[in-house]
Amino acid sequence: MTRVTGRPQSRFVCQACAESFLRWEGQCRACGAWNTLVETVVREPARRKAAPAGSRQLDEPTALGAVHEPAVPRQAIGIGELDRVLGGGLVRGSLVLVGGEPGIGKSTLLLQVAAGIATAGGGSVLYATGEESAAQVRLRAARLGLLDGAPAEGIRVVAEAEVGRIMEIARSERPGLVVVDSIQTATVDELDGPAGSVGQVRESALRLMDLAKGEGIAVVLVGHVTKDGSLAGPKTLEHLVDAVLSIEGERYAALRLVRASKNRFGSTEEVGVFEMGEGGLAEVADPARAFLAEHDGPAPGSVIAPTLEGSRPILVEVQALVAPGAVGSPRRTASGVDPNRVALLLAVLGRRAGIGLASHDVYLNLAGGLTVGEPGLDLPIAIALASSLRDRPVQDRTVAIGEVGLLGELRPVSGLERRLREAARLGFDRAIVPRATRDASWTPPVGMEVIAVGSLGEAVERALVAAPAREASASARC
């Protein structure tokens, strides 16, 4: 389908931003990166037109109400947590990117997706892998128990990374789903750059988009994520695809969170919670409590926060460790939360609540490898820091949630009722929340004592167990 026109031309393509130049230069003039230009032979591929699925060309403006609703044919995968994230299943003709660190479980998840589609009657699945041999895919399928029934027949494996060949096979076999594992190993014959280079990744993705839109086949690309958490390859990949799913979690822990950071056919709010086990990724029965660490009773530095991921409340444990620092600048480490947010909270605690941590080393962590971006985590983080500093645990069965402003003021969070109901269900009976919440019309869950506090200092005092009498005066000086 791709027309090849003109003589081969050589271009120097920046591996960081994909800008191309006629001559080699030490620094890319577009993005400023050094030594990123790589000579690439380019034969201009045919111009392509890719209309979004379900749309048609409108020449005349049309009244919004009269525009035809696009048909969005979905195929449920049969893995509830994943269907939820996708907004009800895979959309035919859509291009989906699944990103995650190496070893997090991308190939495992996609083999399970392939099996789901084959079992649910969504047609056959073409699984093209440039990372492994067909025999290795079979081995994994055997470990996942997918070698009987529909998946054994319905999943067609090919160890092929050349996109033209993959498209040829897809056009003749007409599967319901094509999986390309991974986009970093995919190549296009007309380009000379190595697999994984910006040119190859972008052109491969563009052609696979043609396949998806042109043939109405769902195409899922696997994408590796670099250390800093961005998708390897050009940023343009994220703009190109219809949905970006990312698999998060700690590689050596079992829990995995699947999140949609972009979704043209659904919300980006929902998360799916899985556990990696013997049989691959299994859905977690009670996601709200999945990230709660198991330990006996409250420990200093630990605070439970009822967070909200989309419409789903998830209880997470904030863990802080504060220790007197050596001479020089103290260490600050935060995983699962924004380190800048933690720096800000340390400053606010010092200036507005008299809890000075300037000379202390601070380590902060969310149990279970979860990453939470919502500002409601401010108050639990602040309480955890104070709790560790004073070596006083938070009172039993207590949760805390709220945003902290620069002036030390506390702001309410959305969906408080839903969060507290879930906390109550899991056995918590005290909640520290910002006072402003009280004005809103809502009813606290039965049996839950809601403590509305006006300041950071008050929140810390109400949250922690009382200080032993003779230490009280000492800790007041901290």
**Does position 184 bind ligand TYD by CB under 6 A?**
no
Instruction: State how beta strands 37-42 and 74-75 pair.
Output: unpaired
**Does position 223 bind ligand TYD by CB under 6 A?**
no
449-453 sheet: strands from edge to edge: 332-335, 360-366, 312-324, 302-309, 398-400, 430-434, 449-453
Which residue's CB is nearer to Mg ion, number 94 or number 185?
185
Binding mask 54-93 for Mg ion (x = CB under 5 A): ----------------------------------------
**Does position 138 bind ligand TYD by CB under 6 A?**
no
Using CA atoms, how far residue 237 sits from 37, 201, 364, in Å, is 19, 8, 33
CB 157 within 8 A of CB 145: no
Relative orientation angle of helices 163-173 and 198-215, to the nearest 10 degrees:
10
**Does position 112 bind Mg ion by CB under 5 A?**
no
Q: Indicate the length of the chain as a whole number.
A: 478
**Does position 143 bind ligand TYD by CB under 6 A?**
yes
Site for ligand TYD in 257-286 (CB under 6 A): 276, 278-280
Q: Which two tokens stand for residue 18?
A: 């994909």
**Does position 352 bind ligand TYD by CB under 6 A?**
no
**Does position 140 bind ligand TYD by CB under 6 A?**
yes
Q: Which entry of Mg ion, ligand TYD, none binds 266, CB below 5 to 8 A by partner kind?
A: none
CB 198 within 8 A of CB 234: yes
- Using the rule CB under 5 A, give the single segment among 43-51, 106-114, 292-300, 389-397 that binds Mg ion: 106-114
**Does position 103 bind ligand TYD by CB under 6 A?**
yes
DSSP 471: H
Please select the residue that binds ligand TYD; options are 107, 124, 187, 302, rule is CB under 6 A: 107
Rounded to whole angstroms, the Cα distance separating 258 from 272 reads 5
**Does position 108 bind ligand TYD by CB under 6 A?**
yes
Please select the residue that binds ligand TYD; options are 80, 102, 350, 454, rule is CB under 6 A: 102
**Does position 100 bind ligand TYD by CB under 6 A?**
yes
Please select the residue that binds Mg ion; options are 40, 75, 107, 112, rule is CB under 5 A: 107
Cβ 32 to ligand TYD shortest distance, Å? 32
Instruction: State how beta strands 9-14 and 37-42 pair.
Output: antiparallel
Q: Which two tokens stand for residue 351?
A: 């200036």
CA 312 from centroid of its chain's CA atoms: 15
Under the rule (CB under 6 A), what is the footprint of ligand TYD? 100, 102-108, 140, 143-144, 276, 278-280
